Amino acid sequence: MTAQLIDGIALSRQLRADVAARAAALAARGHKPGLAVLLVGDDPASQVYVRNKVRACEESGLHSLLERHPATLTEAALLARIEQLNADPAIHGILVQLPLPAHIDAHKVIETISPAKDVDGFHVASAGALMVGQPGFRPCTPYGCMKMLESIGCDPRGKHAVVIGRSNIVGKPMAMLLLQASATVTICHSATPDLAAFTRQADIVVAAVGKRNVLTAEMVKPGAVVIDVGMNRDDAGKLCGDVDFTGVREVAGWITPVPGGVGPMTITMLLVNTIEAAERAAAGAAG
Ligand code: NAP
């Protein structure tokens, strides 16, 4: 069996068209949606990420404010700037690109962002809302993975989902979203003794580790849906995921490629969260 591809670029295109229509409708009512992106320092990967996010905003008709700050910016100055943006009615989403320089406490920074503008979904209030099943912003990468499952008609209800990785930004929220969708969820991590014993039982596997070939063909149940969140480089320097794509695609039923899978969906869900934040603000202003 050769797996069918879950095309993150095509799905992103559809979802971004919807975002653009909603942005145009809001702008016509005098509420142009706005995202502030704050970059501290000159980490090359972060520069690429913020550029892509700003470009995606512009293509979808969202106003974006990109602020580049030197690595010497103090924590107090960054917190003060976030407070200003919290109070700015033209800004509906605030994103602080991680990682931050070592002298800045990332937790403090995230907790300073108003939960109403927390379009990355990293604030404790957003994590808590997800945990208890209340509305709130979902972290973009796992939210995008759920959209990918939906796009292929894969309802997680009653399925066994195995999430590899337990970070706060991917693994844990991914597991919560799958649980909320009534999957039976197993979370594996670096201390899991026999990863294959779990993944072989999985109807859905989400790999979010950051190491090549964490999931190989003999670890996958025939027909399973495999979502590859990982972003790594192969020996030739080419972007690749956590999954041995060539081998696993012969066993799985569905698989996401890297690149062209989860990556574009992450940015798309940032736009979706931002438009939702702007719609809520506009509804609040109207009410
Ligand atoms: P992270 O914070 O480093 O977490 C990695 C997780 O993998 C940890 O929970 C770790 O376990 C677990 N792990 C490490 N080695 C393992 C092994 N051999 N077997 C099983 N689990 C193992 O990384 P992250 O931020 O979640 O990101 C994961 C990957 O996704 C990275 O490649 C990142 O670049 C990528 N990513 C991609 C996107 C996208 O848009 N495509 C977005 C975000 C992240 P412990 O907790 O026990 O250490």
* Ordered structural domains, the chain, with CATH: 30-114 (3.40.50.10860), 140-262 (3.40.50.720)
Amino acid sitting at position 209:
V
- Read off the pLDDT of residues 172-220 as tens digits, 9 standing for 90 and up: 999 999 999 999 999 999 999 999 999 999 999 999 999 999 999 999 9
List the catalytic residue out of 118, 120, 203, 228.
120
* 287, pLDDT greater than 80: no
* 14, pLDDT greater than 80: yes
What is the C-alpha end-to-end distance of the chain, expressed in Å? 55
State the residue for tokens 């596997």. 205
Q: Is 97 a catalytic residue?
A: yes
Is the Cβ–Cβ distance between 169 and 110 less than 8 Å? no
Q: Calculate how far, in angstroms, residue 167's C-alpha sits from the geometric centre of ligand 1.
A: 6
Asked if residue 167 has its Cβ within 6 Å of ligand 1, the reply is: yes
- Read off the pLDDT of residues 60-102 as tens digits, 9 standing for 90 and up: 999 999 999 999 999 999 999 999 999 999 999 999 999 999 9
Q: What is the pTM of this model?
A: 0.97
Q: Which of 192, 249, 239, 202 has the alpha carbon at shortest distance from 224?
A: 202
Is the Cβ–Cβ distance between 250 and 89 less than 8 Å? no
Q: Is 53 a catalytic residue?
A: yes
Residue 286, Cβ neighbours under 10 Å: how many?
Answer: 8
